[in-house]
Amino acid sequence: MDKMPAWADAVLVPLISLILAGVLSALVILAIGESPVEAVNYMVKGAFGSTNGWGYTLYYATNFMFTGLAVAVAFHARMFNIGGEGQAMLGGLGVALVCLYIPWPHWSLALIGSITGAAIFGALWAAIPAYLQARRGSHIVITTIMFNFIAFSVLNYVLVNVLKPAGAMDPATAKFPEATHLPTLHDMLAPLGIAFSKSSPANVTLFVALAACVGVYYLIWRTKLGYEIRAYGFSESGAVYAGISPFKIIMVVMLLSGALAGGMAVNNVMGEAERLVMNSVEGAGFIGIAVALMGRSHPFGVFLAAILFGFLYQGGAEMAFWTKIPRELVVVIQALVILFTGALDNMVRMPLEKMFLAMRKKGDA
């Protein structure tokens, strides 16, 4: 028999991890002489207290859905894609090229174009580590880390030497043309009579991210490709026996993962900044790791975890504004979530398993 019921594994374990991370974070706040209650208050008010707050929360959550799904999809094939950061950077380059060099008649077409551009560039950036893993056995974690740094240099070079408008100082592209500007939640909700903050960056990409969650669910659990990805993830020798090519699975899953990470650029580069700047990803690629771990690599879990981290990011910024607690608290919380849901998973799990085993014995007796 399984040691724990499925619901406990899916809900209880991440929940306890989250609580542990929360308690420790509260202790950190106490230790620097601030009030955790006050901090949480500011965070909740800042993230959910106004449509402006909601807008930012959902904007961040959109980023994290993309990067979280990227990590989650790769996890199903036991590939740890730590290169979401670099893939999202390159995705941004794809979006910038599509938006700057193709004269789009309407934002909807530009959206499709930039999704394609972001996905292709992100996927290509994941393709090299994937190929090296599949053919040469180079550890995907190390190569994707290296590719994050290389991506930074590539983007830096392209922005400084190629895409920077003449005379501009900072390494960034020109502003994208008007026709590529995506409708924000404000624009979309106004016809429905809902007044949504005009200044918040949440935009139509949110729905692209939600569609991606649904798509990934169907892909992983309902298609033969998903079946093969999961089979390969559980047992490589089993996959070979069944005639599933490990090369194909590694390539496909990493291209998909890279494409999803790259897809994030549609939100932040096209939807928010409307130009490509150097530091546009802002660590969202790494937050994807926390989101995927927290969400147990399930698209619905990723969705919830992305909202949670969107809340932490927006709430954390507000908290830093109103209290003396620096914004880096969010990085600490993120670290603790990764620690408890990822590395210390057994610490949370083992006592729970013992508890359920004891309960079952009692029930049997």
Partner 1 sequence: MTAQAKEGRPEGAVSTPPSPAPPAIKLVGISKAFGPVQANKDISISVQPGTIHGIIGENGAGKSTLMSILYGFYKADKGDIYISGQKTEIPDSQAAIAAGIGMVFQHFKLVENFSVLENVILGAEDGALLRPSLAKARKSLTELSAEYGLDVDPDAIIEDIGVGMQQRVEILKALYRQAEILILDEPTGVLTPAEADQLFRILDRLRDEGKTIILITHKLREIMEITNTVSVMRRGEMTATVKTSETDPAHLAEMMVGRKVLLRVDKEPAKLGDEVLAVENLQVTDEKGVLRLKGVSLNVRAGEVLGIAGVAGNGQSELLAVLGGMMPGSGTIRVNGQEIDLTGKDSNGQTRRARGIAHVPEDRQTAGLIMEFSAWENIIFGYHTDEQYQSGVLMDNSGIIKLAGEQMDRFDVRPPNPRLSAKNFSGGNQQKIVLAREIERNPDLLLIGQPTRGVDIGAIEFIHKQIIALRDSGKAILLVSVELEEIMSLSDRIAVMFDGHIMGERLPSETDEKELGLLMAGVNEETA
Partner 2 sequence: MDFLTILQVSDSSIRLAVPLLLACLAGLFSERAGIFDIGLEGKMLFAAFFSAAIAYVTGSAWLGLLAGIAGSMLLSALHGVASITFRGNQLISGVAINFLAAGLTVLMAQAWFGQGGRTPQLSGDARFTEITLPFAEALRDVPVIGPIYYELISGHTALVYVAMLCVPLTWWVLYRTRFGLRLRAVGENPAAVDTAGISVIGLRFAAVAIAGILCGIAGAYLATALQANFVKDMSAGRGFIALAALIFAKWKPWPALYATLLFGFLGAVAIRYQNIQIGNFTIPVQFMEALPYILTVVILAGFVGKAIPPRAGGEPYVKER
Question: Which of the choices partner 1, partner 2, none does residue 335 contact, using the CB cut-off of 5 to 8 A by kind?
Answer: partner 2
- In contact, 133 and 79? CB cutoff 8 Å: yes
Q: What's the CA gap between 350 and 340, in Å, rounded?
A: 13
Which parts of 32-51 interact with partner 2 (CB under 8 A)? 32-33
- In contact, 29 and 325? CB cutoff 8 Å: yes
Does 231 interact with partner 1 (rule: CB under 8 A)? yes
Which parts of 62-91 interact with partner 1 (CB under 8 A)? none
**At its nearest, how many Å lie between partner 1 and the CB of residue 244?**
8
Does 245 interact with partner 1 (rule: CB under 8 A)? yes
**At its nearest, how many Å lie between partner 2 and the CB of residue 225?**
26
Does 334 interact with partner 2 (rule: CB under 8 A)? yes
**At its nearest, how many Å lie between partner 2 and the CB of residue 83?**
12
Find, among 343, 341, 350, the residue nearest to 302 by Cα.
341
Q: Which is nearer to partner 2, 113 or 301 (CB)?
A: 301
Identify the residue among 35, 199, 223, 279 touching partner 1 (CB under 8 A): 223
CA terminus-to-terminus distance, the chain: 17
DSSP label at 165?
P
Question: Which of the choices partner 2, partner 1, none does residue 44 contact, using the CB cut-off of 5 to 8 A by kind?
Answer: none
Q: Which is nearer to partner 2, 222 or 354 (CB)?
A: 354
Identify the residue among 234, 328, 347, 358 touching partner 1 (CB under 8 A): 234
Q: How far lies 192's CA from each of 98, 103, 187, 196, 202, in Å?
A: 31, 30, 10, 10, 17
Select the span of 32-40, 60-68, 197-205, 241-249 touching partner 1 (CB under 8 A).
Answer: 241-249
- In contact, 12 and 352? CB cutoff 8 Å: yes
Which parts of 170-229 interact with partner 2 (CB under 8 A)? none
How large is the angle between the packed helices 299-322 and 329-338, nearest 10 degrees? Answer: 150
**At its nearest, how many Å lie between partner 2 and the CB of residue 353?**
13
**At its nearest, how many Å lie between partner 1 and the CB of residue 8?**
16
Contacts of 77 (CB under 8 A, 6+ apart): 229, 230, 232, 233, 249, 250, 253
**At its nearest, how many Å lie between partner 1 and the CB of residue 235?**
6
Contacts of 40 (CB under 8 A, 6+ apart): none
What three-state secondary structure class fits 170?
Answer: coil
Identify the residue among 12, 26, 28, 190 touching partner 2 (CB under 8 A): 28
